[in-house]
Amino acid sequence: MRFDRPRDDRFWRALNACIGPVMRAPFAPPAQWAKGALYLVLAATAYGWLASGPATFATTLAAYSLFNLAALLLVLNLGHDGAHDALTPSRLANRVICEATFALLGLDGHLWRMRHVLSHHVFPNINGCDADIDHNPFLRLSPNHPWRARHRWQHLYALPFYLTVQLHAIVVQDAIYIRQKQLANLRDIRHSPARVAGFVALKVLYFTALLALPIALSPLPWLEVVLAYGLATAVASLAFVLPLVGTHFADGNVFPEPAPDGRLGCTYVEHVLASSLDWSPTSRLATFLIGGLNAHVAHHLFPRVSHAHYRRISPAVGELAARHGVDYHCTDPPGIVAAHFRHLRRMGQPAFQK
């Protein structure tokens, strides 16, 4: 599987020249660390509230929801950059921060990094090579995937399915990935005994801290605590999915099928712009909340640059793409959600098959 070599790389050369100062200092600035500290304080406060044994179901739900949302913000704003070695020059520090923040959500950061960095980022939207689209038994996300009758209704049942994303990732997805020997373009995957033991310890510690202890400390019946936890994971799931799922799975984005010899018929830069959808990429609020993933093109073109710099990169991407006749897709928050559900509805029709 391979991309073409650039035939005319004027766009790419111009973009690199334009953002030269960013590339000389690509790591997290002090403001990003301060933002991470704020989210960490929120998570700690929420867990302290939860451990105090809130007296009502509503306050227990609020404590769980605040903790989950704060942990998610830590993952998006620190953990994700750490996975790409974009936080600090220290690879060890990046790995520790990545795995520690993901652990707050009950997820194995090492497994997430493996499939995200080594699969999705290498071949986004290419079935057989992108783990993000290859392993979804519920939704048809690419025209290159087989159509099933149930997909006619996926634009309707997708939202309830998205409510379960965090729980599914904690309980099912991680358990599948730790056992798999191959995943999309990844082959001969091996995990050391220490890594497997760490995986088991993570799950035990997470469910002890987030379920067993709150149940033991709460005056509420255990079933109400479990229900509050489940509802809070649903809130966090939507907060994760809705702003991000349309960045690749949207009408207008491409899903190329490789030629028999493995060629993809475009360069990597061309593919990133054609397969990604930005939304409000220069918004301070969006960048503050979701770690710059609204500037998805900048993220894929410069994954080892901290998201704090994407607001400087994205205007150059749009301006130079227009100047050089390169496709660039951009919308607003309602637009990305609408584009995703239009894509689901389109992929649910039997006419849209390879």
Q: Which tens digit of pLDDT belongs to each residue from 12-71?
A: 999 999 999 999 999 999 999 999 999 999 999 999 999 999 999 999 999 999 999 999
pLDDT at 185: 84
250 against 353, higher pLDDT: 250
2 against 155, higher pLDDT: 155
Of residues 341, 253, 334, 243, the one with CA closest to residue 295: 243
Of residues 259, 32, 248, the one with CA closest to residue 121: 248
Checking if the pLDDT of 123 tops 80, the result is yes
Angle between helices 57-74 and 91-104 (to 10 degrees): 160
Checking if the pLDDT of 127 tops 90, the result is no
Q: pTM of the prediction?
A: 0.94
Residue 203: its H or E element? helix 193-207
What is the rounded average pLDDT of the residues 69-92?
A: 97
Q: How far apart are CA 130 and CA 127, in angstroms?
A: 6
Contact of 290 with 78, CB cutoff 8 Å: no
Q: How far is CA 302 from CA 177, 236, 287, 292, 332, in A?
A: 27, 27, 16, 12, 22
Q: Report the amino acid identity of residue 218.
A: S
Percentage of the residues of the chain whose pLDDT score is greater than 70: 99
Domain boundaries, the chain: 10-347
- CA angle in degrees (0–180, nearest 5) for 8-13-19: 155
What is the rounded average pLDDT of the residues 139-157?
A: 93
Of residues 140, 144, 76, the one with CA closest to residue 107: 76
DSSP label of 6: P
100 against 10, higher pLDDT: 100
pLDDT at 5: 82
Of residues 325, 354, 122, the one with CA closest to residue 256: 354
Buried b (16+ CB within 10 A) or exposed e, 243-258: bbbbbbbbbebbbbeb
pLDDT at 353: 61
